[in-house]
Structure 1
Amino acid sequence: MIPLRIVLASLACLYPFSLAQEPKSDPDKTLIIISTSDIHGNLDNFPRLATLVKQYRAKYPHVLLVDSGDYFIGNPYVDDCEKRGEPLTILMNKLGYDVVTIGNHDLDYGQEALRDHIKGMPSTKFVITNASLSPTLENCFSPYVSIPIKGTSISVGVIGLADLQTTDVRRMTGISWKLPDEEDYKGITDRFRLHHNTINVILSHLGYGNDLKMMKYSPNIDVILGGHTHVMLPSGHLRTGTLLSHTGHSLSHVGVTEIIFSTEHPVSILSKSTRAVSLNEEIPDDPEVKEIVRRFSGNPLFNQQVGVAGEEITHVTIGTLFCKAIQQASHSDIAIYNRGGVRSKNHLNKGPVTIRDIYELEPFREKIVTCSMSKADIEQLILSKFMSPTDDEGGVLEVYCSGFSYQIMDGVTPSITSTLKNGVIYTVAMGDYLCSNFIFPQRGNGKPTGIDVRKALIDYLKQIKELLNPPPSKLPIIKDTTFAL
């Protein structure tokens, strides 16, 4: 999971927001864009979001509700619904989203489920500009959307950009996409000029770093509403004429962007601002939407206790738990697991561990597979992932393990050492995502065991009863300072 990072800027904008404030401008000449991103199945704050949207629509005639992707994956009430994702479809349709793009996790249920989600929101426009879609998703997306502002000659142009590089390759059949480069960014404004829109908006699931590049190479885009990296910008960034908004994840906050325009000839934008609005108790629940959430959140199965955390458990310990559980369940020599497959939480709180906790940590319904691998194969897998980090994160430990240990020397050319032995062929347990998506000689050729990762976790926790953090071990990543000045 990409970690939450807070960008400290104008923290005063995090105060509870009230529509009791008098508008600074003529409501008829103001566009309000309410934006969400990286909802990840969180249902709890939809009743407050519904109230906020209703309040704005009652006060302003021009309001757009948009989302920048990753509405799926992260909540068992959504992920494990009989029809996967259905609660989000019903709620987003109920609130009347105007324009939506996709994130890398919105394909995790499969292309058919995403298609059904789109069909369940018939009044919403879905837009993706940097991808060519499969026949399954044909006619579901547009590369560009133009929305007229009623009563004016002004229109709002919207494109959608997504980073799909971590999407499971098994869900990408027939889909091709491209991460924009400098030349692509420079050409973005041409698309807006072609359609003669006054207000230009990008729904971006490219991440904070790529959004900054876009601002550098594509000046004078009016607004970028970003997501993917779970960044919080309390009052946004305004650079090169472009306003950038990021509002974290899990629907704790939403973006409220205000654009004041003139209808005089030539029509123009007079000002623009954005703020992250907390969906806290200061905003009352919408009763009708609250009832919909209650209907989907009543499964008693998720409250069953399967173990206990004797202290606050770190993400590394949770990752090791995954490995030990699948190693034992599959009777393998060693086990490895990808960091991104341990979802939802940076830690487990002290106290009971429930089935809901397990399902939140492993929302993908992975199966255990095994591969026969040598020391060189395993080290190649670990090191190849370390050597292809994202721009935002740098070199990051991507593989948890049990049955052995390793260290990486992070220098000009990273190297790896491990306790594995030469001349031995190991039976290695892993999740089927890692087997299909990481680069190593046995890629895609794992032997199915038929065992659910979730079941392995539950059985292992019931066996050990209490989960504790182990004593600190050697640092897995050693920085090479040989050439440091």
Structure 2
Amino acid sequence: MKRWTRLALFAAVAAAAACAPRERTIVVLSTNDMHAKIQHFPRLAAAVEACRDTVPDALLVDAGDRWTGNAYVDKTAVPGKPVIELMNRLRYDVATLGNHEFDHGQAFLGRMIDSMDFEVVCANVLSDTCTFPQLPAATIVERGGVKIGFVGAVTNYEGPGHPAGNAASFAGLEFPDPQAEAIRRAEELRGRVDVLVLVSHMGDDRDEELLGRTRLFDLVIGGHTHVLRDTVVNGTLLTQTGKDLRYVGVTEIRLRGGKVQSADFRLVPLDGYGPDAGFAAEVERYYASPELNRPVGAFAATMDKQGLANWMAAAVADEADAEVGFYHIGGVRLDSIAAGGVGVARVYDLEPFGTQVARMEMTPAEMRRMIVTKYNEPTREGHRIDLVSTTPYAILVDAEDRAFDVRFPELREDRRYKVAVSDYVYRNYHDLHCTEGEITGEKVADILIGELREDSPLEADNAPRQKVVRTEAKKF
């Protein structure tokens, strides 16, 4: 399998070597949204080194969200450090920021950037604080006489006005329109480089919008939306490699007379490579944590993502002594946990953010307004059931998939209810109106660990309590 993958990956490179001397081929390897999945680094290292055996000056680029998603990275003495050490060892060249780079605050991120041996570029983050360095918008890397420009951009759509996350992490920073800033920097750089690459953490939908406005870029290395993309949009190649280091992207850019003639992309599955022994030993060292490896309880049956969300909604409600619990599906970071023993690390993989419980009082009308507003958001979090709840409800939508009502069969409209949510929802969700609101300081992961210790084995409740109903009748 490894031999097949190596041949598939580099056959075109070998052919390019036979081209006329005036023709050049640049190879760019890309990753995005690795989310701390360092267990896949040994296979990534094997793939990258196989490429470098054939193309020694291949570039290695990452499009953001390097940590948050693996307890063996997120719960170390310096969160994220294992990822950066592995990336430095693998000799990454360029990266941009993702929203999760800010999960531990901007001062922490500033220190982490200082430890990165690769260039971090972002055109649309402006710093007015000493805790966070002003990053370059772009950089130029030369390979074999070919100048390759890289412009970085990060989403500001979910904040609003900043990446998704707690607003306190972005104090003193500005995040202007990423598309406008990327285009502006491209206009400045285009005449100075042979190849121009956008390293984007906006999401493939926003990348498509940008490419509809400009043809300045030769390649977009994308991230944020966790999809596999290999698409030409308005003459420019748009790529993305999904998430969790399952694939590495390989882009070959052919030039003739200093002009780009073509760009071709391939997704290469990393499971086709045997792990690099040196990187495997390093990862094993990171995983040797007695505290994280300690079992705390068990599940009687497998919990799928719906079941995990139900569990988390019920857990925050119980902790806050609330009548209704909501948990946002984006905060449920695992797709399932299998029946059997559950260790501390698995709980932190499920909830890696240090999320706290918030409690308040709300009427059904206020809950309805919050749910409808979230459903109708134009971001990727819209038009889905985002808030899983302990109380059943139905979202009514019209033919254009616009929500206009929410029905609560078990709630009375004339009552105020004690409600529990995550502090992320409490701080960031639009149209959340309540009384007696406060953040309790209790961490969701600690609550889940406590329930596992006290009540194992936990039964799985994978049944959905929320649904979307399409109807033409608009009535509040």
Q: Separation in 2 of the partners of 1:309 and 1:170?
A: 36
Q: Separation in 2 of the partners of 1:172 and 1:50?
A: 33
From 43, 67, 81, give the equivalent of 1:48. Answer: 43
Matches within 5 A, 1:281-430: 282-343=272-333, 345-390=334-379, 392=380, 394-402=382-390, 404-411=391-398, 412=402, 414-418=404-408, 419-430=410-421
Q: Separation in 2 of the partners of 1:102 and 1:357?
A: 26
Instruction: Summarize deviations over 1:99-144 as a string: whole Å, max 9, x none.
Output: 11011111001112211211111x3111111222342455451112
What is the SS of the residue equivalent to 2:441? Answer: strand
From 147, 151, 170, give the equivalent of 1:155. Answer: 147
Task: Give RMSD over aligned pairs.
Answer: 2.8
Name the TM-score, length of structure 2 as normaliser: 0.88
Describe the shift of the 1:104–1:296 C-alpha distance in structure 2 as closer, same or farther (beyond 3 A): same
Matches within 5 A, 1:126-141: 126-136=120-130, 138-141=132-135
Match of 1:84 in 2: 79
Q: Which runs of 5+ in 1 are unaligned?
A: 1-14
Say yes or no: does 1:458 pair with 2:446: no
Q: Separation in 2 of the partners of 1:420 and 1:458?
A: 30
Structure 1 residue 323: Cα displacement? 1.5
Instruction: Summarize deviations over 1:27-82 as a string: whole Å, max 9, x none.
Output: 99321111110000011121222232233333324321110000011000111011
The one-letter amino acid paired with 1:254 is V
Q: Separation in 2 of the partners of 1:142 and 1:184?
A: 12
CA contact (8 A) 1:436 1:444 kept: no
Structure 1 residue 471: Cα displacement? 7.3
Match of 1:58 in 2: 53
Aligned identity (percent) is 27
Describe the shift of the 1:473–1:359 C-alpha distance in structure 2 as closer, same or farther (beyond 3 A): closer
More deviation, 466-475/246-255: 466-475
From 229, 232, 250, give the equivalent of 1:238. Answer: 232
More deviation, 137-146/110-119: 137-146
The one-letter amino acid paired with 1:108 is D
More deviation, 170-179/473-482: 473-482
CA contact (8 A) 1:334 1:428 kept: yes
Matches within 5 A, 1:68-79: 68-79=63-74
Describe the shift of the 1:335–1:479 C-alpha distance in structure 2 as closer, same or farther (beyond 3 A): same
CA contact (8 A) 1:102 1:162 kept: yes
Match of 1:176 in 2: 174
Describe the shift of the 1:188–1:134 C-alpha distance in structure 2 as closer, same or farther (beyond 3 A): closer
Structure 1 residue 191: Cα displacement? 3.3
Structure 1 residue 224: Cα displacement? 0.5
What is the SS of the residue equivalent to 1:372? Answer: strand
Q: Separation in 2 of the partners of 1:23 and 1:439?
A: 54
From 462, 469, 474, give the equivalent of 1:478. Answer: 469
CA contact (8 A) 1:362 1:454 kept: yes
Structure 1 residue 469: Cα displacement? 4.3
What is the SS of the residue equivalent to 1:212? Answer: helix
CA contact (8 A) 2:375 2:403 kept: no
Instruction: Summarize deviations over 1:433-457 as a string: whole Å, max 9, x none.
Output: 1111112455798423332211211
The one-letter amino acid paired with 1:24 is A
Instruction: Summarize deviations over 1:276-325 as a string: whole Å, max 9, x none.
Output: 11111x42333332222111111133333333333332212211101111
From 34, 57, 70, give the equivalent of 2:29. Answer: 34
Describe the shift of the 1:325–1:215 C-alpha distance in structure 2 as closer, same or farther (beyond 3 A): same
From 195, 199, 207, give the equivalent of 2:195. Answer: 199
What is the SS of the residue equivalent to 2:16? Answer: coil
Instruction: Summarize deviations over 1:381-404 as a string: whole Å, max 9, x none.
Output: 2222112142x56511111222x2
Match of 2:14 in 1: 23
